[in-house]
């Protein structure tokens, strides 16, 4: 997967001196949010962060969480709406050092709230040793952590040079390495086919990279790993390679695919895609 080099491209984020949100004073937006938390869309959250500072918005959202009525909202929208508050307080300067990141939060901060690139949360490992979910709020790509290529795999995964597994399978990023996704942490990886990985890049990751890297936009982005096993009818080459079923147990540990959803800075859904794990 091609890695994009970061440049000195100016960020489109506003400074804290600009206290207006989308052309509107931040005061009435805050007042409406306190009276009706549902009015605080993902776009408003990110705009308030730029206008008022990340920490101030985090404290406000933390106080609002107990009052939010989200029972009728779909799960993806609930996660996106509560994303900033859920990520508060975790700053990891070195994305390689996951020992400092036990709660599954990964952020990058250059000691200045105006330079907060965004926040990323990972779900816990599943019992098969790979990732379950990823939620990212990318505010400024230039200040996101530097990602990396996959360098780890589940304990049960077949050794290198095993027929079929080497030719057809990869550890697929939940959060792409070009937008800060680590490749040394299985919480951000899951074993999928090269076909599925290519579809993920073409249908989802390319859109996210264009929006955040090329256009400097803000996004709220989530990938959920759908439990497996995958459909056997979609793996004819696998079963032709192993007619004696010596790797059937490993096959049954594979995920079924990725559910991907993303919203732009105005709260518009720009990605809603299922990536099936198939040959």
Query: In the chain, pLDDT over 70 holds for what percent of residues?
Result: 58
Instruction: Give the C-alpha separation, 181 to 120, whole Å.
Output: 9
Taking alpha carbons only, the member of 265, 275, 5 closest to residue 137 is: 265
Q: Please tell me the pTM assigned to this model.
A: 0.65
Q: Write the CB contacts of 235 (distance below 8 Å, at least 6 apart in sequence).
A: 251, 278, 279
Cα gap 56→51, rounded to integer Å:
10
Domains of the chain: 15-77 (no CATH), 89-276 (3.40.570)
Alpha carbons 152 and 179: distance in angstroms, whole number: 19
The encoded tokens of residue 14 equal 């506003």
Euclidean distance between CA atoms 76 and 134, whole angstroms: 11
pLDDT of residue 180: 86
The three-state secondary structure class of 86 is: helix
How far is residue 241 from each of residues 168, 195, 230, 244, measured CA to CA in Å? 11, 17, 17, 9
Residue 131 has a pLDDT of: 92
- At 109-123, the pLDDT tens digits run 444 445 557 788 888
Q: Which residues of the chain have pLDDT under 70?
A: 1-116
Residue 31, pLDDT score: 53
């Amino acid at each position: 997967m091609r890695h994009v080099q970061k440049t000195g491209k100016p960020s489109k984020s506003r400074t804290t001196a600009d206290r207006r949100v989308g052309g509107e004073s931040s005061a009435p937006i805050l007042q409406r949010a306190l009276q009706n938390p549902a009015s605080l869309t993902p776009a408003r959250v990110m705009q308030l962060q730029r206008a008022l500072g990340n920490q101030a918005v985090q404290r406000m959202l933390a106080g609002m969480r107990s009052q939010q009525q989200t029972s009728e909202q779909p799960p993806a929208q609930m996660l996106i709406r509560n994303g900033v508050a859920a990520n508060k307080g975790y700053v990891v300067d070195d994305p390689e050092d996951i020992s400092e990141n036990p709660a599954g939060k990964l952020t990058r901060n250059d000691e200045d709230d105006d330079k907060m690139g965004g926040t990323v949360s990972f779900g816990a490992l599943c019992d098969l040793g790979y990732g379950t979910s990823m939620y990212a709020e990318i505010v400024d790509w230039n200040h996101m952590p530097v990602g990396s290529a996959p360098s780890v795999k589940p304990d049960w995964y077949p050794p290198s040079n095993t027929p079929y597994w080497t030719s057809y399978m990869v550890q697929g990023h939940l959060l792409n390495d070009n937008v800060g996704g680590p490749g040394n942490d299985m919480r951000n990886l899951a074993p999928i086919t090269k076909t599925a990985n290519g579809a993920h890049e073409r249908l989802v990751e390319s859109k996210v990279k264009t929006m955040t890297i090329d256009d400097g936009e803000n996004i709220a982005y989530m990938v959920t790993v759908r439990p497996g096993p995958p459909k056997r009818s979609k793996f004819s080459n696998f079963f032709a390679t192993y007619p004696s079923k010596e790797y059937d147990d490993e096959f049954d540990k594979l995920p079924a695919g990725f559910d991907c959803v993303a919203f732009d800075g105005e709260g518009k859904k720009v990605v809603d895609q299922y990536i099936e794990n198939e040959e």
